[in-house]
Structure 1
Amino acid sequence: QLELITPFQLYFNPELIFKHFQVWRLITNYLFFGPVGFNFLFNMIFLYRYCRMLEEGSFRGRTSDFVFMFLFGGFLMTIFGLFVNLVFLGQAFTIMLVYVWSRRNPYVRMNFFGLLIFQAPFLPWVLMGFSLLLGNSIIVDLLGIAVGHIYFFLEDVFPNQPGGGRLLRTPAVLKAIFDTPEDDPNYNPLPEERPGGFAWGEGQRLGG
């Protein structure tokens, strides 16, 4: 926003990355959400809220697993980015977090702008429809949903299937860096099933 750098120095470009060794683009393409405006604020709010609820909910006390989800999702999106014409992947990463949260909280009822009431697993698809109404490409949302589904399937579904097992294992080096030896018993986390506070993301458990 201060115009110290331009988006052209940040965007995902495989040729510049692999032929000219501008490796920072592997990270910076996730950090640019466009100029400050509605779309920027929308992404920031969703990124903050659902990242926080995952960290304080299903990833409580599992910081290394949380970081590993970031790395795994970023790796897959980068691989898929080689085959689709996307220059910034930050919004897809946000949708991935929303998808994982929504699948782990299937009974939460959502209220989107006071117009739609639905259960949490439909939230990524509602966001994709909203993005379409704003004139944005849904390829970004579909990429986030696809990566989120792959992570959710490998982490939550496949290990519980007959003959299944855990294919995703957090490296020991991440556990050594991020995991703390014990938890604080006096800490009260934000309940993961209460995504309210904004009219487009408010929810409650059915029957609650």
Structure 2
Amino acid sequence: MAFNSLWEEYMQIPVITRVYTTASLLTTLAVHLDIVSPSQLHFNPYLIIRHLQIWRILTTFLFFGKLGFQFIFNIIFTYRYCRMLEESSFYGQTADFFFMFVFGGSIMIIIAIFANFPFLGQGFTMMVTYIWSRKNSYYRMNIFGLLHIQAIFLPWILLLFSFLLGNSILVDLMGIGIGHLYYYLEDVFPNQAEGYQILRTPYFM
């Protein structure tokens, strides 16, 4: 009975959020159990092109580090803000939400080719969080029971936490930058006097 309840709760998670967070959890579990190693998952253009290890284009977004505080921190924020976006701003627009994933992920891959970023999951989390914060900029929120802020400041608070944890903030800044680009092209530019819709979800999606 308890399993059925859990399964029902799980299936109520919007589909894109459910697939992405589940894949991330399973990838981390596979590394923890030594089924695969991080070296088999990271983004490497040479191995992708010369050895056709195409899966690396996806797995670079799925591994947030070994089980620990940093992983928990990232997966919670990924789940929370993916779900909130998919259930609010993208409600009934699953294809548009998926296109946002593809748009942001594609730009990150291009940047990673030149910047040598092996894992992009943290940057992806920042992108999603930034987009949510701009679409809900006046929402009042509480951070860890310590800070009361408007949502628009959330990405910068997370950037500070990432720095304090000793992480490189370059990937985080990339995520914020791509998130801002998407928000501008999707929500700002089309509403200007001479603006128009630049981003259009492909019909096949």
Which category describes the TM-score, using the shorter chain as reference length? 0.7 to 0.9
> Normalization by structure 1: what TM-score?
0.81
Shift of 1:113: 2.1
**Of residues 113, 116, 133 in structure 2, which corresponds to 1:85?**
116
Q: C-alpha distance in 2, partners of 1:36/1:48?
A: 16
Q: C-alpha distance in 2, partners of 1:110/1:84?
A: 34
**Of residues 33, 36, 48 in structure 2, which corresponds to 1:5?**
36
1:26 paired residue number: 57
* Paired residues for 1:142-181 under 5 Å: 142-174=173-205
* Counterpart secondary structure, 2:141: strand
Q: C-alpha distance in 1, partners of 2:64/2:159?
A: 16
Structure 1, gaps ≥5 residues long = 175-208
2:87 paired residue number: 56
Structure 2, gaps ≥5 residues long = 1-31
2:13 paired residue number: none
Shift of 1:82: 1.3
**Of residues 93, 113, 128 in structure 1, which corresponds to 2:144?**
113
Q: C-alpha distance in 1, partners of 2:172/2:60?
A: 16
Shift of 1:142: 0.3
Aligned length: 174
Tell me if 1:99 matches 2:130.
yes
Shift of 1:114: 2.7
2:19 paired residue number: none
* Counterpart secondary structure, 1:83: helix
Letter in 2 for 1:71: V
* Paired residues for 1:36-51 under 5 Å: 36-51=67-82
Letter in 1 for 2:130: Y
Letter in 2 for 1:32: F
Aligned CA-pair RMSD: 0.9
Deviation string 1:20-62 (CA, Å, 9 cap, x unpaired) is 2211110011111111100101111111111110011010011
Q: C-alpha distance in 2, partners of 1:120/1:114?
A: 15
Q: C-alpha distance in 2, partners of 1:117/1:61?
A: 31
Letter in 2 for 1:109: R
Letter in 2 for 1:127: L
2:160 paired residue number: 129
Shift of 1:110: 2.2
Q: C-alpha distance in 1, partners of 2:116/2:152?
A: 27
Shift of 1:117: 2.1
Q: C-alpha distance in 1, partners of 2:167/2:157?
A: 14
